[in-house]
């Protein structure tokens, strides 16, 4: 609160007292005066304090190591526990350009996802549409292998303009269902955006999130979790 706001608050409080004082008893006026004084005092004290934006802690990397009078703890080894199930629609990272018509609808000449095939079962397509891996609790695509895979997919789709794909976002088993559905959506859309930047038509790329419901590895350790944090593809060619 700056000095201008404090001055305005004082002026407003005094004017209120002047306008209402005649209709109220002395005790009421004194109570209002003390209340106004407490608010003004809080504002004056805040002038010497530090201000910072509030933020929600979403992952273990968000914890800040405290110094000075606060204990310093190492949170890096702690298991991240996300928020319980609730509405996460605002956290879904949408692509910069969505397809105008969804496949499988009456307006589309492209069938639904059930008609798309898994490229991993095709000797030729499996060399192009490789699985994209992600770090823990992240939709950031890292590593040369992943980037090279994206570029190879983009080249193929530009040379085969009648190729349509679903980009599937997946997560490991940790975390709430709604949280993982949102994270899977962010992962699929991050891959979609990169393909668009590489020149693939937005009309040929669709996204879907399965969260933690379709693991590649049913194990309960880091080896299994690292395989399940992924994006993979379904392909349709008329």
Let me know: does 210 contact 145? Beta carbons within 8 Å: no
Range of the domain at 185: 104-236
Do 111 and 216 sit in the same domain of this protein?
A: yes
Let me know: does 95 contact 207? Beta carbons within 8 Å: yes
| Ramachandran category for residue 53: left, alpha or beta (phi over 0 → left; psi -120 to 50 → alpha) | beta
Domain membership of residue 131 (yes or no) is yes
Domain membership of residue 51 (yes or no) is no
Strand ordering across the sheet containing 230-236: 132-133, 230-236, 164-170, 205-211
Domain membership of residue 76 (yes or no) is no
Residue 123 has a pLDDT of 95
Do 125 and 212 sit in the same domain of this protein?
A: yes
pLDDT tens digits along 84-116: 444 433 333 344 456 667 888 888 899 999 999
Do 131 and 219 sit in the same domain of this protein?
A: yes
Domain total in the chain: 2
Domain membership of residue 175 (yes or no) is yes
Do 114 and 41 sit in the same domain of this protein?
A: no
- The SS3 call for residue 158 is helix
pTM for the whole structure: 0.60
What residues contact 15, with CB distance under 8 A and at least 6 apart?
Answer: none
pLDDT tens digits along 135-163: 999 999 999 999 999 999 999 999 999 99
User: CATH number of the domain that 137 lies in?
Assistant: 3.30.1330.60
Do 117 and 7 sit in the same domain of this protein?
A: no
What residues contact 71, with CB distance under 8 A and at least 6 apart?
Answer: none
Domain membership of residue 84 (yes or no) is no
Closest CA to 130 of 207, 174, 191, 184: 191
Q: CA 12 from chain center: how many Å? A: 43
Domain membership of residue 129 (yes or no) is yes
């Amino acid at each position: 609160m700056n000095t201008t706001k404090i001055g305005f608050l004082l002026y407003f409080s005094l004017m209120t007292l002047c306008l209402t004082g005649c209709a109220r008893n002395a005790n009421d006026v004194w109570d209002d005066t003390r209340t106004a004084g407490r608010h003004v005092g809080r504002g004056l004290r805040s002038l010497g304090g530090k201000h910072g934006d509030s933020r929600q802690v979403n992952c273990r990397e968000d914890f800040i190591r405290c110094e000075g009078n606060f204990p310093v703890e190492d949170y890096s080894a702690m298991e991240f526990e996300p928020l319980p199930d609730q509405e996460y629609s605002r956290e879904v990272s949408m692509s910069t350009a969505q397809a105008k018509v969804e496949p499988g609808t009456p307006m589309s000449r492209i069938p639904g996802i059930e008609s798309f095939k898994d490229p991993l079962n095709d000797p030729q397509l499996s060399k192009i549409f490789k699985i994209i891996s992600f770090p823990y609790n992240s939709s950031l695509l890292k590593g040369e292998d992943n980037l090279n895979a994206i570029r190879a997919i983009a080249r193929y789709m530009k040379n085969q303009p009648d190729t349509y794909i679903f980009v599937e976002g997946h997560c490991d088993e940790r975390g709430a269902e709604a949280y993982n559905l949102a994270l899977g959506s962010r992962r699929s859309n991050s891959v979609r955006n990169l393909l668009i930047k590489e020149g693939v038509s937005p009309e040929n790329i669709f996204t879907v999130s399965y969260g933690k419901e379709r693991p590649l590895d049913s194990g309960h350790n880091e080896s299994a979790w690292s395989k399940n944090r992924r994006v993979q593809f379904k392909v349709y060619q008329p």
